[in-house]
Amino acid sequence: MPCPLLGALDCRAPRRGLSRRASALGDNARPDKTGRGTRRSAATKTDTGTFLRSLLIVASLLAAAALWRILGPAPPTSEGTVTVARTLKAVMGTDCEVKIVLRADQEPRADSAFAAAERALRDVEALMSRHIERSELSRLNGAPAGEKVPLSARTLEVLKASRDLHRETRGAFDVTVWPLVRLWEGAGKVCRLPSAAEVAAARGSSQWDQIRLLQDGAVKTTTTAGADLGGIAKGFGVDLAVEALKKEGISGGIVNLGGGLRCFGRPPGGDKWEVDVLDPFRADKKETFAALWIGEGAVCTSGNYHRYSLINGVRYSHIIDPSTGWPAKASPSATVVAPTCMIADGWATALCVLGPEGLALLPKDAGMEAMVVVGDPGSAVAYVTEGFPRLFKDPPGIPVKPWRSAVPVGLIHRGVERVADDAGHLFARHSHDVLRGRSADEEDPFHGTLGDSRLKRLHALRVVLLVIDLREVVQHRE
């Protein structure tokens, strides 16, 4: 098996190359005892005039090129293509950058291509936004128990993908956290932490087992159940926008919607797109901390840096850990590369809940790679899947490490599942939280809602899980 750490070192090769070039120049300039160095200096003097003239010509050419770039249209590349970009304002709560590559003679088609991409995005917003009162999703969320709500094939596709992701991510991606999202948004507005009872009530009022998806609609078994597709619909919209561009005959481009993007075709003069990853610790200044090479595919980064609630000076993420009902805090930023933006979007949200532990859950052979940042600015580490370092154009300036799980895949969230079975979703704690030395009752919103005997059983279960986890740790270290 190739060592992922070697991959991480490989990706720094360009920097080593740069320093090698620098030292070669230094060697040349040094005179040597054989006098060859002196001869080289003499030759340099006779060439100075020619050299300066060449420099002047090159500088003029560069200046002319810069002027052309500023004043003229995007210059045709060597392949005779032009890149045209447009910003679509306020799509699903953010701006969308669309960049397309066209042959020079196709340029008049740019407008209709942008319009098609925008239509696709706005259609998804109209169907799936929880902020639009008449959207299909709002109708589902507002419907009484037992009433069938007809849904379009698109909304159903996203709901079904969400349900699949819920299973694959061991419950970390859960669109039914809708009431919790509203609870925490409200808490942020009045600057007051919700009570344990409020969190428990919100969690209990909406779960996947209260929503049944049908061929052409959905039925809820409780009126309170509902979904929030904010963690996946943007990615789906990007996929549809790319499809729309392809239908318009566009052979390459990027659709970038607030942290999630998809590239297709080739950029002018190259075969991979350069994609920047925002620095989670300096995202407000829009600083990037890594750059990736991406061919056909999607990249999504989720984190707690753009949208959060500030309560008593503490920043609470807009992503909810469904197992506790509290905002996720496992990772400030997770980046996922996948064939579609919908899958990348869903997994990026899930990894913010799971932390690097979740890397082990990513589907194998599905063309997916991921990077999860943990820690604080001074001590941050980027944990990556095995193939991720190969994507780096510029790796982050923090240590990049392959993730070796201390918890076997089968055990990730097993504590939660077992507890959920036992306590009917009222109590949850990760086995790996215990492993990491966090107190089991720390910030435990459901603690007070359980009887003593049940608590004792749960504590016993944690001890068993801890022993199994520790055995795994020992095996790993060996």
> How many residues in total does the chain contain?
478
- CA angle (54, 60, 62) in 5-degree steps: 100
Query: Angle, nearest 10°, between helix axes 233-247 and 110-128?
Result: 150
Cβ distance 166 to 208 under 8 Å? yes
- Hey, which bits of 26-156 come out as E strands? 81-91, 94-103, 149-150
Tell me whether residue 248 is exposed, middle or buried, using C-beta atoms within 10 angstroms of its C-beta: 0 to 12, 13 to 18, 19 or more: middle
Interaction of residue 181 with ligand ADP, rule CB under 6 A: yes
Cα–chain-centroid distance for residue 278? 10
Stretch of 116-124, 240-248, 302-310, 389-397 lying at the interface with ligand ADP (CB under 6 A): 302-310
The binder of 347, among ligand ADP, Mg ion, none, by C-beta within 5 to 8 A per type, is none
List Cβ neighbours of 109 (8 Å cut-off, separation of 6 or more): 102, 248, 249, 250
Interaction of residue 361 with ligand ADP, rule CB under 6 A: no
Interaction of residue 345 with Mg ion, rule CB under 5 A: yes
The binder of 259, among Mg ion, ligand ADP, none, by C-beta within 5 to 8 A per type, is ligand ADP
Cβ distance 328 to 304 under 8 Å? yes
Q: According to CB under 6 A, which residues from 456 to 475 bind ligand ADP?
A: none
Nearer to Mg ion by C-beta: 178 or 446? 178
- Least Å distance, CB 258 to ligand ADP, is 6
The binder of 320, among ligand ADP, Mg ion, none, by C-beta within 5 to 8 A per type, is ligand ADP
The binder of 454, among Mg ion, ligand ADP, none, by C-beta within 5 to 8 A per type, is none
Strands 400-402 and 381-384, by their bridges, are parallel
Which residues, in sequence order, are bridge partners of residue 310?
315
* Dist. CA 455–CA 427, nearest whole Å: 9
Cβ distance 353 to 328 under 8 Å? yes
Q: According to CB under 6 A, which residues from 229 to 248 bind ligand ADP?
A: 230-231
Stretch of 42-50, 51-59, 223-231, 273-281 lying at the interface with ligand ADP (CB under 6 A): 223-231
- Least Å distance, CB 275 to ligand ADP, is 15
- Least Å distance, CB 223 to Mg ion, is 27
- Least Å distance, CB 474 to ligand ADP, is 32
Q: According to CB under 5 A, which residues from 278 to 307 bind Mg ion?
A: 302
* Dist. CA 105–CA 80, nearest whole Å: 9
Which residue in the set 194, 204, 258, 355 belongs to the binding site for ligand ADP (CB under 6 A)? Answer: 258
Interaction of residue 349 with Mg ion, rule CB under 5 A: yes
Helix, strand, or coil (residue 60): helix
- Least Å distance, CB 333 to Mg ion, is 12
The binder of 319, among Mg ion, ligand ADP, none, by C-beta within 5 to 8 A per type, is ligand ADP
Interaction of residue 194 with ligand ADP, rule CB under 6 A: no
- CA angle (5, 10, 13) in 5-degree steps: 145
Nearer to ligand ADP by C-beta: 179 or 252? 179
Q: Which helix (H) or strand (E) holds 461?
A: helix 452-477
Interaction of residue 259 with ligand ADP, rule CB under 6 A: yes
Q: According to CB under 6 A, which residues from 82 to 101 bind ligand ADP?
A: none
- Least Å distance, CB 228 to ligand ADP, is 4
| Amino acid identity at 257 | L
Which residue in the set 228, 279, 394, 433 belongs to the binding site for ligand ADP (CB under 6 A)? Answer: 228
Interaction of residue 239 with Mg ion, rule CB under 5 A: no
What SS3 string covers 116-130? HHHHHHHHHHHHHCC
CB closest to ligand ADP, residue no: 230
Write b or e for each residue in 27-37: b if 16 or more Cβ atoms lie within 10 A of its Cβ, otherwise e.
Answer: eeeeeeeeeee
Which residues, in sequence order, are bridge partners of residue 401?
383
Q: Could you list the residues that contact ligand ADP (CB under 6 A)?
A: 173-175, 177, 181, 228, 230-231, 258-259, 302, 306-307, 318-320, 322, 345, 348-349, 353
Chain contacts with Mg ion (rule: CB under 5 A): 231, 302, 345, 348-349
